[in-house]
Amino acid sequence: MLRKYRRKKWKKYKNILRNNKLALGFQKPRNWKVIKRYENYKSKKFNKILKQKKQIRQNSNILKNNFNHGDRLELPSVINFTHGWDNIKILHERIKAYNKTLTSNISIDLSKLNEISINGLVYLISKIDQMTNHKKSLRTNNYKNAFKYNAKYGVNPDNEKLKYFLSTVGYWGYFGIKNPYKIQKNIEDEYFLSIKTDVLSKSCYVADLREFISEKVDFLKDDLIQEYFDDAITEAMANSVEHGYIQKTPTRTRGKWWLCGHYNKKDNYLEFSFKDYGVGLRKTLEYNADDLVRSFIRNLKHSAKSDAEIIKLLVNDKLPKYKGKKDKIRGYGFKKFKEFASKIDCDCEMKIISGRGQYKYIASLSREEEILDEMDFSTDGVLISWKLYLSRKK
């Protein structure tokens, strides 16, 4: 009742104000200041929402013109970091544009998708997670947390390989979708470790991945190799949780990471990928380091060191060891990634992507090479993948 009375009074005041700038003749109630403050606040909020909606409508029109439909995110035909940057850039830009139009529930169109790799999958899932968090942060009334499968925009029904991959890797399960389609046949040569995710570093996930590998191949039978493997994955997890998230952002769950694995029996290769969507390596180093490393980073900036070059310094243990906030020595993790790739007895390709940089390390019998690459767009967090060609012995 009080609210209605106050609103009535405010409307009366506004009406008088229209004809009479000094609002003469208007009798102010006792708590007028409170009413005025509240009504001004409400009108400001209302105008802000109106402006946002207008902006979203405009963005939606832009997106409609670019992709023909602004209501859903259309995935490109390939999402694979091995096939160069173009497909990732397309996905990156579509997600960026789609985020601006996010008015209703998230809708993802998989109908054009033909191929997705393990590293592409963890990248995509991290992006969807960000979109979901963004949606939650908008707090719109019609937001639903659960995803549903819409066959119209689902996986191409003829692409049995992709259907099998997404089901076995736990993509649908991750979003709470149960058995969205029937799988006609089992692809016997492909094995997948279902997506693992957490906000803490738990060693049992390392044991899970090791068990998955040991069931298929025996390359981890050597205790020393096992140790290199454990160290690499443990440090990747710990680095993400400890250093990857330096500030609270509404679209990122602090400490979150994803891990996924794949074994192809026919071609006898094994791959696993690790991803977080934190602030990336350059910012992490600047934030966590002590004065010694800060001055080192500043010098790097001056000498225009790229993100890829910074990754190279980290994996080769060329950054000075630094003391963290509690005076503890940090910075052991990254060299363990390369150590694993170089010590195992088969050919290995390791890739680390952060910011605009990509660092690739190839270790084989004939060569050992480090390849640096720069992208014209920036990815968030860190993506680490290893691909092991088990038949090619060093």
Nearest alpha-carbon partner for 110 in 66, 70, 166, 68: 166
Q: Candidates 25-33, 147-155, 177-185, 330-338: pick the segment binding other proteins (CB under 8 A).
A: 330-338
Between 3 and 328, CB nearer to other proteins: 328
DSSP 75-102: PPSEE-GGG-SHHHHHHHHHHHHHHHT-
Single residue of 122, 206, 293, 375 touching other proteins by CB under 8 A: 206
> How close are the terminal C-alpha atoms of the chain, in Å?
82
Q: Candidates 36-44, 301-309, 329-337, 357-365: pick the segment binding other proteins (CB under 8 A).
A: 329-337
Q: Candidates 86-94, 235-243, 311-319, 362-370: pick the segment binding other proteins (CB under 8 A).
A: 235-243
Long-range contacts of 218-222 (CB under 8 A, 24+ apart): 219/270, 219/344, 219/345, 219/346, 219/388, 219/390, 222/345
Please compute, for residue 5, the number of CA atoms within 13 A of its CA located in the half-sphere on the CB side.
7
Single residue of 34, 49, 183, 329 touching other proteins by CB under 8 A: 329
Q: Shortest distance, CB of residue 236 to other proteins, whole angstroms?
A: 10
Determine, following the binding rule CB under 8 A, whether residue 204 of this chain makes contact with other proteins: yes
Measured in degrees and rounded to the nearest 5, phi and psi for residue 162 equal -70, -40
Measured in degrees and rounded to the nearest 5, phi and psi for residue 318 equal -100, 0
For residue 372, the SS3 value is strand
Determine, following the binding rule CB under 8 A, whether residue 279 of this chain makes contact with other proteins: no
Q: Candidates 50-58, 118-126, 202-210, 269-277: pick the segment binding other proteins (CB under 8 A).
A: 202-210
Report the DSSP pairing between strands 115-116 and 78-79: parallel
Tokens representing residue 324 in the block? 């963290």
156: exposed, middle or buried (Cβ count in 10 Å: 0-12, 13-18, 19+): middle
Determine, following the binding rule CB under 8 A, whether residue 231 of this chain makes contact with other proteins: yes
Say which residues have a Cβ less than 8 Å from residue 370's Cβ, sequence separation at least 6: 312, 359, 360, 361, 362
Determine, following the binding rule CB under 8 A, whether residue 262 of this chain makes contact with other proteins: no
Which positions from 242 through 261 interact with other proteins, judged by CB under 8 A? 242
Place of tokens 């400001």: 44
DSSP 316-339: TT-SPPEE-TTS-EE--HHHHHHH
Determine, following the binding rule CB under 8 A, whether residue 315 of this chain makes contact with other proteins: no
Between 188 and 223, CB nearer to other proteins: 223
Determine, following the binding rule CB under 8 A, whether residue 377 of this chain makes contact with other proteins: no
Nearest alpha-carbon partner for 385 in 243, 275, 284: 275
Determine, following the binding rule CB under 8 A, whether residue 237 of this chain makes contact with other proteins: yes
Q: Candidates 32-40, 44-52, 72-80, 323-331: pick the segment binding other proteins (CB under 8 A).
A: 323-331
Single residue of 7, 69, 100, 202 touching other proteins by CB under 8 A: 202
Map residues 286-305 to x or -, x wherever contact with other proteins holds by CB under 8 A.
Answer: --------------------
Q: Shortest distance, CB of residue 274 to other proteins, whole angstroms?
A: 14
Determine, following the binding rule CB under 8 A, whether residue 276 of this chain makes contact with other proteins: no
Task: For residues 331 and 315, give the distance between their C-alpha atoms in angstroms, rounded to a whole number.
Answer: 10
Judged by CB under 8 A, the number of residues near other proteins is: 27
**Interface positions with other proteins (CB under 8 A):** 200-204, 206-207, 210, 223-224, 226-227, 230-231, 234-235, 237-238, 241-242, 321, 323, 328-329, 332-333, 336
